[in-house]
Structure 1
Amino acid sequence: MIDLSPLVAAPGASSLPYSDPAFAGRPLVLHAARPRQWHPATPVLLVHHGVGRNGRDYRDYWLRHVDAANLLAIAIEFPEASFPQYLCYNFGNLHAAGGMANPRRQWTFGIGTRLFEQLREQGITSTDRYGLFGHSAGGQFVHRMLSFGYRDRIAVAVSANAGTYAMPDLSTAWPWGLGVTEVSTTDLRALLAFPLTIMAGTEDTKTTGRFFPGGPKSMRQGPTRHARAHAYLRSGQQAAARLSVALAWRLVDVPDVGHDGRLMSDAAAPLIADALGRDADR
């Protein structure tokens, strides 16, 4: 087991090579932002970067908030060399490049949950649940992760400016829906009842650039990332009505912000701090 204590040895920024037990020989990097008044009861936030695999930058986006928000932020960096392309990251490694399904133990969606358990085992946190934030490709990772469970230890989750969505629809095939996966109607009800926050920059409307998902199946979800976020919420509303369940999702539009990880982190910080604070008091 890797000693995680360097992440909280001193206030401010730190980084630590890390290996998940399910992915031996495929290194990750943990980038932590520790508040000055940290102690084991301090809430934990796990952060998922975008397609640039720039975990250090996302840690720094949150470094400016950890004291006011009273949280320990840890950005999990998935290096391209270890977890190549979108299959391993955005889509959670559910399938290999040839389309063969991987066993659940090899899904990258479980990495954060196992990291949190190690933080608990090593006494770095005494909290029962953690917060989750993902932007862009990280926003894809977060909402797809929640779609397959992994929710028991999560107090608050924010998916920001995702490029595409796994709609809560069992008739639409993965990864644009949840069809042809192990997700059942019962699982879908639990997903819709989870308090997911979808964040969308109102100016996230740029459709040029090599990282914008512009294929036909992606474009069916909407012409821009902002439009797709609203389509995801509508799909959740429709699914909740069909299944007679109260939808716990909400969508927060962030005015005058485009595809910007720093500004979306700034907008998410007070929402996450409030939710983690209330969770600590429960």
Structure 2
Amino acid sequence: MIRVADLPATHPGRRLLTKRSPFFVAPRDPRCSYSVYVPTSWTPDSELPVLVAVHGTGRSVGELREGFIPFAEEHGVIVVVPLFPVGLNGPDDVDNYKTIDSGGVRFDLVVLDILEEVRHRWHARTDRVLLCGHSGGGQFANRFLYLHPDRVIAVAVGAPGSVTVLDEALDWPEGIADTERRFGIPVDPAAVARIPVLLVVGAEDDGRADLAAMGRAGRSRPEELSRLRESLAQHGSPVRMVVVPGVGHSAPGTRAPVVEFLTTQLAEAGVAPSVDQESLVSASEMPNA
């Protein structure tokens, strides 16, 4: 694997592997893939922190990556956007990644292997990362936190249709009773409680009609998030919930509080690099060569 730092500064590979990258196959399962955004503050000596942003059911990974470019540039963060395609377990399978394992694929391990490639290629800091997800990505973020609290700095969970609570009387994905048998990982609520969590949803994002149309009538998205907040708080988690007025089921519409939260947590974790703001170009307006 080519390390960007090993390429001469004038090599065209530098342009290909900084700012908006192509999509690479995921090493654990080449049906999955990922792209990154590498900020203009990157240098061969950089050891930049990483944000993993997970898409929803619609797989709008382009918008997702673009939406975090200002955050990446301002704070010197590499944004990693995995893509878990529809149809892994049949032509209409849209939910595969949301509960972490499906059809023999462990999507948490897919992400961890992606992070190892990102660490190697860009000399990134991937031992602990920021994590966020909206809708189906929010479900993934909720569950990844439980299985790998040691790998995250902070987690933002946006508008999930269902949640997993810290209840040892319920099996996965409703609760955590059988995670050791299922994943080889017993969930440690005390370790989970050490991770700051933001829960965010639009005030107009009810979601019950969508669930009913799919034959899964249940709680609204705000109700699901309230259940998750209560469960986390009962175990001492520093959890906060934000309801954004006038917003429906929209990742861009709920992004502002996510960026604010991630910015605060990056600073408090002491991993934000120093970035010379005057030297930055408007990267969001400049496409790769």
Short-chain TM bin: 0.7 to 0.9
2:24 pairs with one of 14, 17, 22? 17
The Cα shift of 1:257 comes to 2.1
Secondary structure of 1:152's match? helix
The Cα shift of 1:262 comes to 1.4
* AA aligned opposite 1:47: A
Rate the CA distance shift 1:189–1:122 in 2: closer, same or farther, 3 A. same
- TM-score with structure 1 setting the length: 0.78
2: distance between equivalents of 1:265 and 1:179?
Answer: 33
Equivalence for 1:248? 238
> 1:35-54 residue pairs with structure 2 within 5 A?
35-39=39-43, 40-54=46-60
Asked whether the equivalents of residues 13 and 63 of structure 1 are also in contact (C-alpha less than 8 Å), the reply is no
Rate the CA distance shift 1:190–1:86 in 2: closer, same or farther, 3 A. farther
The Cα shift of 1:259 comes to 1.0
Asked whether 1:152 is paired with 2:159, we answer no
Rate the CA distance shift 1:4–1:55 in 2: closer, same or farther, 3 A. farther
1:175 pairs with one of 162, 173, 176? 173
The Cα shift of 1:121 comes to 2.8
> 1:242-281 residue pairs with structure 2 within 5 A?
246-281=236-271
2: distance between equivalents of 1:235 and 1:213?
Answer: 27
1:59 pairs with one of 62, 65, 72? 65
Q: How many residues align?
A: 257
* AA aligned opposite 2:36: A
Asked whether the equivalents of residues 70 and 273 of structure 1 are also in contact (C-alpha less than 8 Å), the reply is no
With 205-214 and 256-265 compared, the bigger mean Cα shift is at 205-214
Secondary structure of 1:193's match? coil
Asked whether 1:120 is paired with 2:126, we answer no
When Rg is computed on C-alpha atoms for both structures, the one with the higher figure is: 2
The Cα shift of 1:182 comes to 1.8
* AA aligned opposite 1:51: T
- TM-score with structure 2 setting the length: 0.77
1: distance between equivalents of 2:135 and 2:34?
Answer: 19
2:34 pairs with one of 6, 9, 30? 30
**Aligned residues: CA RMSD:** 2.9
**Percentage of pairs with the same residue:** 22
Deviant stretches of 4+, over 6 Å: 183-186, 210-213
Equivalence for 1:99? none
Asked whether the equivalents of residues 69 and 269 of structure 1 are also in contact (C-alpha less than 8 Å), the reply is no
Asked whether 1:193 is paired with 2:199, we answer no
Structure 2 regions of 5+ residues with no counterpart?
5-12, 273-289
